[in-house]
Amino acid sequence: MQIRSQIVFMMLLTCLTGLITTSASAAKQPNIILIMADDMGYECVQANGGTSYKTPRLNELAKTGMRFTHCYSQPICTPSRVELMTGLYNQRNYIRFGVLDPQQTTFAQLLKRAGYKTCIAGKWQLEGGFNGPTHFGFDEHCLWQLARIPTLTKVTSRYPNPGLEINGQEVDFNNGEYGPDIACNYLCDFIKRNHEGPFLAYYPMILPHWPFEPTPDSEEWDPAAKGAGSSQKHTKYFVDMVNYTDKMVGRLVDQLEESGIRENTLLIFTCDNGTATTVTSKMGDLTIKGGKGLPTDAGMHVSLIANWPGKIESGTTCSDLVDFTDFLPTLVDVADAEVPNKLHLDGQSFLPQLLGQQTNARQWIYCWYARNGGKQGAEFVQNHNWKVYRNGRIFQIGEDKLEKNNLASRQQTLSEADKKQLKQLHTALDQYTDTRKMLPEPYPENKPRKPKKNKQNKKKATN
């Protein structure tokens, strides 16, 4: 009888241990929301010192979380998306504009393997057809510019009455709907359905990329409009579009609160590149001209705000260098996921910074950039103060953000401290000599496909 009781006790203990282990494992996997605005430079956020726009929800996230002052994207959208999702610099995996090499591994794939439910909503622009998001690790999608590629089909509106692709079906909206609302609502519904977690919600926003046109909060909003094509003429609406971007971020925060999972969710906000060159903004008395497409501070310096109640200390600012290769290793660390040995990542996790721990911060960042791929690209390394290009140009970017004064011929007149920094940057750049990897074109013949029109109720399709 005593032996039998001992056996029962051991079985109960084993079960309890398993439950405790499972619970502890679940506790290590917080929910993650990664938001990336489209064409919204560092100067557009009030918390960064911007004075042209109203961003109260982002300001609150910065006030109660951590704001990074030196985060760098690529100069334009597709290169940034590829780098962000794979943790690799573009010279290793970039094919051409509008494509993500199907052989690459993304953070969604790695987190999905770690037990996460995954969703992407917003702007795709990576080709791959209806199977693209699934192939790259997303369980669900609600996207613009997925299967309807502008070079092959008529461009659909992304704003009023948009044409989207939702979980493998083309869905056209014609009753005054607004594209950013649809994408954000889809994510909110995803959060509701997966509140027990863990989940990854990736939100590459449609806003505030041109065409510059009214939002539903603008006086000029027309629910019957069909979209303004690719117009950059009406930059006055860019203000409304940035403000609406902030509103969408707030809507997700509110949904986390409503679902009771705010404290177990890491929310990260960033942007894919600088503001459009047709837009000028103010940071106090300083006028900032948008630099999208340029490998300069105006084209690559972007916001990075991270908020995680109880984990990230409120109101902290981090001046460490961060670039877009750092996001994948950071998300993997947060999720306690694994990176296959075959993946030799370029990125470095910034989770230690988020948690206020000791870390070996980056001493420099590297960039290889060519909008349309090919063998040659702009190539450089930089730290907080200096920037060294492969072609020999040198700029003291701490004082010369517009890169107007090439100091290559004056290196010998610099201080010993500056010479030491430049030597370190030259050594770093040498690591990447002749490392450009030419990848095969995955879609050599872009042929128009037969669209699958959604016959379901449109309201149901967004749930």
Q: Indicate whether 41 pLDDT > 70.
A: yes
Amino acid in position 329:
P
- Say whether 415 sits in a helix, a strand or coil: coil
Terminal-to-terminal C-alpha distance of the chain: 57
Q: In terms of DSSP bridges, do strands 280-283 and 286-289 run parallel, antiparallel, or are they unpaired?
A: antiparallel
Of 82-96, 287-301, 335-349, 434-448, give the lowest mean pLDDT range.
434-448
Q: What is the mean pLDDT of residues 261-271?
A: 98
Which residue's entry shows tokens 């869905």? Answer: 171
Burial class (CB in 10 A: 0-12, 13-18, 19+), 64: middle
pLDDT band at 443 (very low <50, low <70, confident <90, very high): low
- Phi and psi at 198, nearest 5°, equal -80, 150
Secondary structure tally for the chain: helices H, strands E? 13, 17
Q: What is the mean pLDDT of residues 325-330?
A: 98
Q: What is the mean pLDDT of residues 145-151?
A: 81
Q: In terms of DSSP bridges, do strands 140-144 and 117-123 run parallel, antiparallel, or are they unpaired?
A: parallel
**pLDDT digit string (tens) for 215-256?**
999 999 999 999 888 888 899 999 999 999 999 999 999 999
Instruction: Report if pTM > 0.75.
Output: yes
pLDDT band at 153 (very low <50, low <70, confident <90, very high): low
**pLDDT digit string (tens) for 407-429?**
999 988 999 999 999 999 999 99
Q: What is the mean pLDDT of residues 153-171?
A: 91
* Bridge partners (DSSP) listed for residue 265: 31
The percent of residues in the chain predicted with pLDDT above 90, rounded, is: 82
Q: For CATH 3.40.720.10, list the domain ranges present in the chain.
A: 30-363
Q: In terms of DSSP bridges, do strands 301-307 and 66-72 run parallel, antiparallel, or are they unpaired?
A: antiparallel
Pairs from 140-143 (Cβ < 8 Å, separation ≥ 24): 140/167, 140/186, 140/190, 141/165, 141/166, 141/167, 142/166, 142/167, 142/182, 142/183, 142/186, 142/187, 142/462, 143/183
pLDDT band at 151 (very low <50, low <70, confident <90, very high): low
What is the architecture, at CATH level 2, of domain 30-363? 3-Layer(aba) Sandwich (3.40)
- Of the candidates 388, 368, 386, 387, which has an alpha carbon nearest to the alpha carbon of residue 378? 368
Burial class (CB in 10 A: 0-12, 13-18, 19+), 437: exposed
pLDDT at residue 429, as a whole number: 98
CA dihedral 53, 330, 111, 255 (to 10 degrees): -30
Opening angle at CA 270, ends 269 and 273, nearest 5: 160
Residue pair 85/330 in contact by the 8 Å Cβ criterion: no
